[in-house]
Structure 1
Amino acid sequence: MASTGTLFLIFAVTFIREGNAQNTFVNVNCKENVGQYGQQSLLECIVQTTSEASDIQIRVVTWRRQGADKPALVFHDGRIDPKSSFTFAEPSWNNKNMNVSVLIPNTRVADNGRYTCMVMTNSGDGKGEVNLKVTAKYSEPIISSIPEKITPGSNGELTCETHGGYPKGDIRWFVNDNTDWTKSSKMEVKGAQDGLLHLSSKLPLLHGSIFSKYTCIVYNATGGKEAEAVFIPDPEVEGRKASNGSESTSKVVAPVVVIGSLIVGLLLALLVYRRRTRKARRPSTAPLMDGHTEVSNRDDEESGAQEMDGKQQNIV
């Protein structure tokens, strides 16, 4: 512990001294990087020297994350501090290797941040900075409903949940033909002990406005789509709605069929009655005996009529 404290004191004094002096021989150039949670991440820094410097040898290298209590890697006096959590990216690294990049073996959310790489050589000192952005992909979302069966005539609520992501993402809701319904929802963010985040979004459902399809989509911090889930109201509810519709239709159709049958029956009866009436009024088609008989019959009718007139006159 005493040797470590002495080493830190030497570093501090050395960098304060070098910070007050002009150094044009050594530069440390670093590149920004993105690290994936649970995987290996690279912090890349290269020492560059001017042509005036020759036979450069590195004496001290220290990597530190801003805000951390201890450095992540320390090289001093020809050896690497065994307590360092990082390793050099070059497996056979030595004090003449200008590639001072380091590897993070198992990236955590706590590794997210800005790092400083300070290098002391026999020709001068330099410092570089690099920012590590740790990301973690969110899990497949799960949608649950309250009540368990959503009915058109009652209120309800859908909840979409996803976890294991970083940094803070977003949950959006879409209904039917991809109409954005996110404004009606409310999202909550919770952190776990490992620094990963849990997202939960609640979407209230009002009776009379139940859609046929709900889609929950998870987006990462940069706005990229990561995963989605679909919720469709209970098929039994749809079946009941369909059956209720058919029952209503049958209630309307049945009286119409009965009335139609009565009208058809009345029309048929009327048609039969008219046919019978026409037959009753039609004259006989039996052939006459001959022309004389017809004339004789007419004479008899006329004489009968004259006799009736004579009787009426005698009575008068």
Structure 2
Amino acid sequence: MNMASLCILLVILISIGNAKTERFMSLDCKAEQLGQYGQQSLLECVIKKTQSDTMVRMVSWKKPNLTLLVFYKGKIIEKKDGFSFAQPSWNDRNMNVSLLIANTTVKDVGQYTCDVMTTAGNNVEAISFKVTAKYSNPTIVSSPKAFAPKTDGTLTCESNGGYPKGQLRWFDEDNKELTSDAPTEAKQTDGGLFQLSSRLVVGKESSVSKYICGVFNASGGREEETPFHVQYAPKTEEQEQRKEVDTATRIVAPVVVIGSLIAGLLLALLIYRKRSQQIRRPSTAPLMGGHLEVSTEEGDDKYPDNVA
């Protein structure tokens, strides 16, 4: 083959390549897409054509081991409930092959593939689909309902219905974080959503008057928060009575002791005075003019008739 023939062949091959390039189509899909739980979600994919007469021969939407929607030779031959083309009146000349999810759930999370065949060429694209669900406003329950002075208490914070797994975080009235003392417990429901709970122990020496529980999503953004103002229990009637008894006891006890001491001193003084009087009392017998005779015989004591 001479040089002229080689040049002609090269020109022909380049021409064929250019023709294929002009007929080649592209599939424009967003690689990562996000849906909201309980809402409609759209997985966007659009055919970028180079010819005005391009027709779609086949569209296939799949997840691993699961076929969701298949269009082939002018009709839909397979369709899973809850999935459809984004445009209800879709046909083989419509270049928008986006997939519509009617009611988004956690089960819809995952990798999708869109496989397209047209008269201008074929292409396949992969899409990563994620789902989010907003957490409820946190609720805080106190145990006991009202804190008694100088006693420990517990605050329990809960938030439900969110996805992916989030976190509950505690703050005081000065926005100082207390989360290290109250880790988050997460439970996943049958529907895939998360229930979050966290318990914060309030020590009896705490002087904080307000606590704040905030729920944060998986990206670290704060969604909702709830403040809690600490309540202290009013003094009960029994406590008041006990206080009165304690007060009375504090007053009466010293009085009793002092009274006892005074009574003892008075008694001792009376005994002392009585003894002193007995010692100083004079004899009843005459001091002069004789003496008193006393018979020593048993049972016959006699006094003298007269005194000599």
Bucket of the pairwise TM-score, normalised by the shorter protein? 0.5 to 0.7
Query: Does the alignment pair 1:182 with 2:179?
Result: yes
- Equivalent position of 2:60 in the other structure: 62
Query: Does the alignment pair 1:147 with 2:162?
Result: no
Report the secondary structure of 1:125's partner residue: strand
1:157-183 per-residue CA deviation (whole Å, 9 max, x = no partner) reads 211100100111121101122111111
- Equivalent position of 2:99 in the other structure: 102
- Equivalent position of 1:270 in the other structure: none
| Residue from 151, 157, 162 that aligns with 1:160 | 157
Query: Does the alignment pair 1:29 with 2:28?
Result: yes
1:94-147 per-residue CA deviation (whole Å, 9 max, x = no partner) reads 111111011111111111122110001223210112222211110111111223
Report the secondary structure of 2:233's partner residue: helix
| Residue from 225, 249, 253 that aligns with 1:228 | 225
User: After TM superposition, what 4+ stretches of structure 1 lie above 3 angstroms from structure 2?
Assistant: none
Instruction: Kindly provide the amino acid, as one letter, of the partner of residue 75 in structure 2.
Output: R
Structure 1 pair 124–99 and aligned structure 2 pair: CA distance change class (3 A): same
**How do 1:260-275 and structure 2 match up within 5 A?**
none
Query: Does the alignment pair 1:74 with 2:70?
Result: yes
State how far apart, in whole Å, the 2-side matches of 1:194 and 1:205 are: 34
State how far apart, in whole Å, the 2-side matches of 1:136 and 1:210 are: 37
- Equivalent position of 2:44 in the other structure: 44
**How do 1:78-89 and structure 2 match up within 5 A?**
78-81=74-77, 83-85=79-81, 86-89=83-86
1:261-284 per-residue CA deviation (whole Å, 9 max, x = no partner) reads xxxxxxxxxxxxxxxxxxxxxxxx
Instruction: Kindly provide the amino acid, as one letter, of the partner of residue 37 in structure 2.
Output: Y
Instruction: Kindly provide the amino acid, as one letter, of the partner of residue 83 in structure 1.
Output: K
State how far apart, in whole Å, the 2-side matches of 1:156 and 1:48 are: 64
State how far apart, in whole Å, the 1-side matches of 2:121 and 2:70 are: 18
Q: In 2, are the aligned partners of 1:114 and 1:129 still within 8 Å (CA)?
A: yes
Report the secondary structure of 1:177's partner residue: coil
Report the secondary structure of 1:72's partner residue: strand
State how far apart, in whole Å, the 1-side matches of 2:100 and 2:208 are: 51
Instruction: Kindly provide the amino acid, as one letter, of the partner of residue 48 in structure 2.
Output: Q
Instruction: Kindly provide the amino acid, as one letter, of the partner of residue 30 in structure 1.
Output: C
**How do 1:171-210 and structure 2 match up within 5 A?**
171-210=168-207
Q: CA deviation at 1:216?
A: 0.3
Q: In 1, are the aligned partners of 2:113 and 2:124 still within 8 Å (CA)?
A: yes
| Residue from 122, 131, 134 that aligns with 2:131 | 134
Instruction: Kindly provide the amino acid, as one letter, of the partner of residue 71 in structure 1.
Output: T
Q: How many residues were matched structurally? A: 218
State how far apart, in whole Å, the 2-side matches of 1:211 and 1:152 are: 13
1:35-74 per-residue CA deviation (whole Å, 9 max, x = no partner) reads 111111110001123x4x5622111111112x3x321111
The two structures have a TM-score, normalised by structure 1, of 0.63
Report the secondary structure of 1:157's partner residue: strand
State how far apart, in whole Å, the 2-side matches of 1:220 and 1:103 are: 26
State how far apart, in whole Å, the 2-side matches of 1:57 and 1:87 are: 19
Instruction: Kindly provide the amino acid, as one letter, of the partner of residue 55 in structure 2.
Output: Q
- CA RMSD after TM alignment: 2.5
Q: In 1, are the aligned partners of 2:210 and 2:230 still within 8 Å (CA)?
A: yes
1:176-216 per-residue CA deviation (whole Å, 9 max, x = no partner) reads 22111111111111100111111111112222125211110
Instruction: Kindly provide the amino acid, as one letter, of the partner of residue 47 in structure 2.
Output: V
State how far apart, in whole Å, the 2-side matches of 1:218 and 1:93 are: 42
Q: In 2, are the aligned partners of 1:37 and 1:136 still within 8 Å (CA)?
A: yes
State how far apart, in whole Å, the 1-side matches of 2:66 and 2:129 are: 17
Percent same amino acid at aligned positions?
A: 47
Instruction: Kindly provide the amino acid, as one letter, of the partner of residue 66 in structure 2.
Output: K
Instruction: Kindly provide the amino acid, as one letter, of the partner of residue 48 in structure 1.
Output: K
